[in-house]
Chain A
Amino acid sequence: MPLAHTDRAYETELKDLREKLLSMGGKVEVAISRCVRSVTERDSQLAEKVKEGEREINRLEVEIDDACRRLLALRQPAASDLRFITTALKIVTDLERMGDLAVNIAQRAFELNQAPPLRPFPDLTKLADLAQEQLRKALDAFVESDVQKAEEVMKGDELLDTIYKKLFNELLIFMMEDPRNIRRTAALMFVAKHLERLGDHTTNVAEMVIYMVRGTDLRHPRSRQAELERIERG
């Protein structure tokens, strides 16, 4: 049974921060799921809900930033508390960006839903499913402090990129086949790009979870080869 902080108010503040982050993560998950369905099911009402939900996500971002600053200034956190708070400060930005991407996708849905449907693209569904699964897994990794899950997310991003590239080419060919498709296909291309970016933000979250748990920063391996080898050797 892990020990609680002697200062109960501090313990509560950390718990509140954690709950706010989880709540924000949950809202981002819902936004992503809705914006994807607004495209695949051609449902503009869902797209509308995504736009409404963004305000809540933005509000939580500011609240979480505030809570982190307050904790840093007043509690001088150390060790795992410090890593948790700095992680919160970073992933909150990624979560907020994901919220923005959901809105961008919803906006493309409005356009697409006003025009006649295009033929289905199974790779788009695949991309959307994987992006959502990745996000869910990254948030689980955060909740459970699960390094293994976070590592799976980092690996999963490669697959996401591969599907994106394949889909991009499919859409390009589809445009070339008939110029009348260009406007709608371009909208789909944006949707695909936003999903791919979503994957990148998800990967950031996963990297920060690993830092939070282990205390080692694994980001940018190519720029930091020597340093990471040193960390590896201990």
Chain B
Amino acid sequence: MQPQAQISTVNLSAFFRSGRALKEVNLQVLPRSVLAVIGPSGCGKTTFLRCLNRMHELVPGAYATGQVLIDEQDVYARESDPVMVRRRVGMVFQRPNPFPTMSIYDNVVSGLKLNGVRNSNSAQAQKSLEQAALWDEVKDRLHAPATSLSGGQQQRLCIARALAVEPEVLLMDEPASALDPIATARIEELIRELRERYTIVIVTHNMQQAARVSDWTAFFYMGELVECAPTEKIFTNPREQRTEDYVTGKFG
């Protein structure tokens, strides 16, 4: 029997005012696995990611059709609340974006406060910072401004902030592209640890990074999902010629 997919998209298409950005994407992500999404600029990989937590529709005129099922619940169903969706599906962006006026601690618990949680915030903050592999570095200065941290630490703080609301799925849009190699390695290590608890979808331009961190890799080209397969297969023996050409550096 096939394990139940944590995320599945059914004929997912996405549109901007200027036209279609994703064409009928059907894809499954297993629970507690890492899916890397690769493809040349403009292939729709970030749009795909942003459809998963209904952030795509925040762009004026943008909309999506088809289904995105998280644990079999369609996030685009009429009764579905985008705010609740984004709580279940956390997101980390390319550039670290901690709230600049807030302390480290307040950044972590900001999501909880927005959700009206009042109690046991400090325990949750510690847990999230531990999971984001940042606790040991900040435990003595939790009330220092978030902006006093290095870029890599700020990115891990953003991950802690995303984890604090206990999402099921974590989306990462080029989470290490603004970081130096050591900070990148720490994020990659962290992704492997988070995989024990969360389902992760990561968009990356860096194919070697996709190869290092993911279990599955999806290759997008011109809004279409060309191939989704175990990462090892994509990088040693892909099924599709377009995937082969992309991963060997023949276009993109």
Contacts and interface: CB of A to CB of B under 8 A. Distances in A.
A10 B249 contact: yes
Contact of A4 (B207, B208, B234, B250): B250
B251 A78 contact: no
Majority DSSP secondary structure for residues of A touching B: loop
B251 A79 contact: no
A3 B235 contact: no
Interface string A210-228: 0000111000000000000
Contact of B237 (A6, A10, A79): A79
Nearest to A76: B208
A6 B251 CA distance: 6
Given A76-B208, A80-B244, A5 B249 contact: yes
A22 interface: no
Contacts of B211: 78
Given A78-B207, A79-B244, A80-B244, A6 B236 contact: no
B73 to A, nearest CB: 32
Contact of B249 (A6, A83, A214, A216): A6
Contact of A79 (B208, B247, B252): B247
Contacts of A4: 250
B238 interface: yes
A79 B248 contact: yes
Given A3-B251, A79-B234, A80-B248, 12 more contacts: A5-B248, A6-B252, A10-B249, A77-B248, A78-B247, A79-B237, A79-B243, A79-B248, A80-B244, A82-B236, A83-B237, A215-B237
Given A83-B237, A215-B237, A78 B248 contact: yes
Which 9 A-B pairs have CB atoms at the shortest separation, nearest pair first? A215-B237, A3-B250, A78-B247, A78-B235, A81-B248, A79-B244, A79-B247, A3-B245, A79-B248
A79 B251 CA distance: 14
Interface in A1-20: 3-7, 10
Contacts of B238: 79
Interface string B100-144: 000000000000000000000000000000000000000000000
A57 B44 CA distance: 50
Nearest to B235: A78
Nearest to B233: A215
Interface size class of A (residues with CB under 8 A): 10 to 19
Given A76-B208, A78-B207, A7 B249 contact: yes
A77 B248 CA distance: 6
A226 B234 CA distance: 23
Given A76-B208, A79-B236, A215-B237, A6 B250 contact: yes
Given A76-B208, A78-B207, A5 B237 contact: no
Interface string A60-102: 0000000000000000111111110000000000000000000
A8 to B, nearest CB: 11
Contacts of A83: 236-237
Contacts of B244: 79-80
Nearest to B244: A79
A210 B243 CA distance: 20
A5 B251 CA distance: 7
B77 to A, nearest CB: 36
B120 to A, nearest CB: 46
B208 A5 contact: no
A191 B67 CA distance: 70
A115 to B, nearest CB: 54
Contacts of B250: 3-6
Nearest to A7: B249
A6 B247 CA distance: 11
Interface in B222-252: 234-238, 243-245, 247-252
Contacts of B208: 76
Contacts of A78: 207, 211, 235-236, 247-249
A107 to B, nearest CB: 42
Nearest to A211: B237
> Which of B245, B248, B251, B252 has the most C-beta atoms of chain A within 10 angstroms of its own C-beta?
B248
Contacts of A77: 248
A82 B235 contact: yes
Contacts of B249: 5-7, 10, 78
Contacts of A3: 245, 250-251
